[in-house]
Structure 1
Amino acid sequence: MTNKITLLLNPAAGRGRGSKAAQLVASALRAAGFAVRKVVGENAEEALARARTAVDGGTGALIAVGGDGTANLALQAVAGTRTPLGLVAVGTGNDFARALGQPIGDAGAAGRLIATALKAGRVRDIDLGKVGGHWFGTVLASGFDSRVNDRGNRMRWLTGRFKYDLAMMAELASFRPFPYRIVLDDGVVQEVEATLVAIGNGSSYGGGMRICPGADLTDGLFDVTVVGDLSRTTLLRVFPRVYRGTHVRHPKVTVHRSATVEIAAEDIRGYVDGEPLRPLPLTARCVPGALRVIGP
């Protein structure tokens, strides 16, 4: 493996901690004998183009410094290649790094771990989800949670978790279950009223909400969590359980395992790794071993 390593940087991650984090990671890599090049674009499209150029040019690894959005961007450059990905989690959610057992919010520790793992050749292959040509590492979200994201993204005058708490309360005011059409590997069509449907390659989204607590990054299958037709009162009572993953014990919640999932519903946008994708219908496919990751 070449000793040339590429850092994909989101300077705004963690409210501006991204640039400082990148310096710490670069220092750790250089101390271990690696040459480091930083990639940052004026926008996501430019940054992705530069990351792909680095991968096509044979970089030894791509290190994403930021949150889940930066990690998702990096996936589009390295998925399906043998270029390993490292994550330095300094964003808001950091669910992909959490699923991989990486340090959260400690760029120095993450940089040292990546440098040590690269020196030792410690990499492993994991599964990814794919919708059309777009890859994702954690969860494809749809339904109530994606509606909350839609509303929160429109609240540009607010930042942080308070914005999404406010968006959630606003969505609850007009909440109703959504008619879904779901098709799994067995081909049986399920027509259900559901609060949300989450397709999990990883277990969590939203900064540690374990919506698909049994998801395994290496089993070749998604965990598909279907939260049924809850009332507003029941939703308020059940939703906090998602942080422990115990919501799946509720009788209105079912979990399926499938390598391919088709979902359709009116006026619902899909989100992957916390990023807006496009409106349903969507078909997600689990691709075994699609990503090579660095350590631990």
Structure 2
Amino acid sequence: MSRLRIGLLTNPSAAHGAAQRTGRQVAHLLRIAGISVVELTASSAAVARARAMEVRETLTALVVVGGDGTVALGAEIVAHTAVRLGVVPAGSGNDFARALGLEETDVEASVRNLLHALSRPVVTIDAIELRADVEDGLSAGAPTIAVGNVSLGFDALVNARANSSRLSPRLRYTGGVMRELASFRPFPYWIEVDGGPREEIDASLMTLCSTGIFGGGMRLVPDARVDDGLLDLAIVSGLGRGGLVRFFPRVFRGTHTDLSVFSVRQVREIRLGLREPMLLRAFADGEPRSQLPVRARVLPGAVRILADLPHAEGRA
């Protein structure tokens, strides 16, 4: 019987460089287990992606070592293929890993879980396809993939600021909130949900969720599921600066869901832009993506994941 062949992609800059050591440890443990490891790590995401695409059809699985952005890169590589995605959390926030209950500090446990999942039936999760929304027949460019959340409002501004911080994930997000509040005002959105009529909404927060966890542990949509074929559009409206200051601490505890300013609607596809000539860039899984307007849709079961979903035992 031929040995299993696993591609290993490590983000060399994740966790300020500490992920490189984790990646070497993962490779060592996989080889001890008799796995053929194909090293795909590169100095840039583009080069790593190109390497992975060259050998993708020969792989049993692709294991990524890094944070949420690295997980999204891995999902983009394996989406709609038979290649399974394994995750060893080694980034700063690790919100996707947190949503799936994956070990964040124990590399040996992470590898054991990967090997165990390889011997079990295939588990699939949804992905989010995101692309620039253009009119008049202009090219929108290639779509990108996310598996956690797409930030489309104040959270996107905070994400951009937090990415340049060297503080802990929670502190960098909290610090970003405080600094962005100084000049913040709600955004004037237009949205079209599932092909329906255009709606106008003034909102502070607009986040498209699959996991519902972001910002180093904020539980924006605690009941979100990654395998239900739907996305949760979380909206916060009617809050000023002071209200946002009080709102975000509650999100870490998940106690904000009963507030009248917070709402969630389930969607399959959405177009979204701004009614005024403003610049706002979407962030997906912590990484910058297209400027608004954008179009996003759910890709049900697009990614085969090497993990047991937290709610699996409770299914009917």
Do both share a fold (TM > 0.5)?
yes
Counterpart amino acid of residue 159 in structure 1: R
**What is the RMSD computed on CA atoms of the aligned residues?**
1.7
Contiguous gaps of at least 5 residues in structure 1: none
Return the letter of the residue paired with 1:24.
Q
What does residue range 240-279 of structure 1 map to in structure 2 within 5 Å? 240-265=249-274, 266-279=278-291
Question: Cα offset for 1:186?
Answer: 5.9
Compute the displacement of 1:206 (Å): 1.4
Counterpart of 1:190?
Answer: 199
Q: Which residue of 1 aligns with 2:148?
A: 138
Query: AA paired with 1:94?
Result: N
Equivalent in the alignment of 2:87: 87
Post-superposition Cα deviations, 1:250-290, rounded to whole Å, max 9, x if no partner, equal: 10111100111121123211000010001111111001110
The equivalent residue for 1:218 is: 227
Q: Give 1:195 deviation, angstroms.
A: 0.2
Distance 1:93 1:151 in 2: 14
Secondary structure of the residue aligned to 2:152 is strand
Contact 1:67–1:93 (Cα < 8 Å) also in 2: yes
Query: Whole-Å Cα distance in 1 between the matches of residues 190 and 173 of structure 2?
Result: 27
Q: Tell me, what secondary structure is at the counterpart of 2:304?
A: strand
Matched, 1:31 2:32: yes
Contact 1:79/1:291 (8 A) holds in 2: yes
Contact persistence 1:204–1:213 (CA under 8 A): yes
State the AA in 2 paired with 1:277: R
Deviates more, 1:8-17 or 1:190-199: 8-17
| Structure 1 residues 23-172: aligned runs within 5 Å | 23-56=24-57, 58-118=58-118, 120-132=119-131, 133-153=143-163, 155=164, 158-161=165-168, 162-172=171-181
The residue identity in structure 1 corresponding to 2:178 is M
- What's the offset of the Cα at 1:11? 2.3
Q: Distance in 2 between matches of 1:124 and 1:151?
A: 35
CA positional deviation for 1:45: 0.6
Verify the 8 A CA contact 2:3 2:36 in the aligned structure 1. no
- CA deviation vs aligned residue, 1:64-90 (integer Å, no higher than 9, x gap): 011111111111211111100000001
Deviation at 1:121, TM superposition (A): 3.5
Unmatched runs of 5 consecutive residues or more in structure 2 = 132-142, 309-316
Q: Displacement, 1:122? A: 4.0
Shift of 1:63: 0.1
Deviation at residue 12 of structure 1 after TM alignment: 2.4
Determine if contact 1:7/1:36 at 8 Å carries over to the other structure. Answer: yes
Q: Distance in 1 between matches of 2:287 and 2:70?
A: 10
CA distance in 2, matches of 1:31, 1:122: 23
Q: Deviations over 1:198-233 (max 9, x none)?
A: 000112111211122221111111011010031111
Distance 2:296 2:66 in 1: 25
- In 2: Cα distance, 1:4 partner to 1:176 partner: 51
CA distance in 2, matches of 1:165, 1:244: 14
Change (3 A) 1:2 1:228: farther
How far has the Cα of 1:164 moved from its partner? 4.1
Q: What is the Cα deviation at residue 100 of structure 1?
A: 2.2
- 1:101 Cα offset (Å): 2.3
AA aligned to 2:269 is T
Bigger drift between 269-278 and 33-42 goes to 33-42
Query: Aligned partners of 1:26, 1:122: CA distance in 2, in Å?
Result: 24
Distance in 1 (CA, whole Å) between partners of 2:104 and 2:183 is 36
The separation in 1 between residues aligned to 2:127 and 2:24, in whole angstroms, is: 29
Instruction: Decide whether the 8 Å contact of 1:41 with 1:47 is kept in 2.
Output: yes
CA contact (8 A) 1:28 1:112 kept: no
User: How far 1:293 sits from its partner (Å)?
Assistant: 0.6
Deviations 1:172-206 (A, max 9, x none): 11111110112212603221110010000112111
Amino acid paired to 1:46: V
**How has the CA–CA distance of structure 1 residues 206 and 6 changed in structure 2, closer, same or farther, with 3 Å as cutoff?**
same
| Aligned mates of 2:71, 2:161 — CA distance in 1 | 23
Residues 1:10 and 2:17 aligned together: no
Question: Which residue matches 1:231?
Answer: 240
Helix, strand or coil: the match of 2:157? helix
Give the C-alpha shift of residue 38 in structure 1: 1.5
**Deviation of 1:149 (Å):** 2.4
Are 1:198 and 1:225, in contact at CA under 8 Å, matched by a contact in 2?
A: yes
| TM-score, normalising length: structure 2 | 0.87
